[in-house]
Structure 1
Amino acid sequence: MANIRRRILKETKSPVKTDKIGAKIKLNNLLKRAKENGTEQGPLTPIEALVTISQDEWIWQAVSKEILDTMSHRLVFHSDGGLRREILMTQNLNTAMDAASIIVELDGNCVLIETLEP
Structure 2
Amino acid sequence: MQDIEQRRSARYGRGEKRVIRTDTNETVRKLRSLTERARLYGRAEGSLVPVEALVTIETEHWVWQTVDRETLSELTHRLVLQMRDGRRRELFMTHSLDAAVESASRIVEFHDGVVLVEALAP
- TM-score, length-scaled by structure 2: 0.56
Task: Pick from 53, 56, 69 the counterpart of residue 57 of structure 2.
Answer: 53
Q: Distance in 2 between matches of 1:52 and 1:103?
A: 20
CA RMSD of aligned residues (A): 1.9
Structure 1 unmatched runs, 5+? 1-41
Q: Distance in 1 between matches of 2:110 and 2:61?
A: 32
Task: Pick from 51, 66, 71 the counterpart of residue 70 of structure 2.
Answer: 66
Q: Deviations over 1:57-103 (max 9, x none)?
A: 22211111111111100000011221111111111112111111111
Q: Distance in 2 between matches of 1:111 and 1:89?
A: 12
Task: Please state whether the residue corresponding to 1:48 is helix, strand or coil.
Answer: coil
Larger RCO (CA under 8 A, 6+ residues apart): 1
- Count how many residue pairs are aligned between Structure 1 and Structure 2: 77
Does residue 83 in structure 1 map to residue 87 in structure 2? Answer: yes
Contact kept, 8 Å, 2:108 with 2:114, in 1: the verdict is yes
Contact kept, 8 Å, 2:76 with 2:95, in 1: the verdict is yes
- TM-score, length-scaled by structure 1: 0.57
Q: Distance in 1 between matches of 2:63 and 2:109?
A: 33
More strand by share: 2
Q: Distance in 2 between matches of 1:108 and 1:89?
A: 20
Could you list the runs of 4 or more consecutive aligned residues of structure 1 that deviate by over 4 angstroms after TM superposition? none
Q: Distance in 1 between matches of 2:50 and 2:93?
A: 12
Task: Please state whether the residue corresponding to 1:52 is helix, strand or coil.
Answer: strand
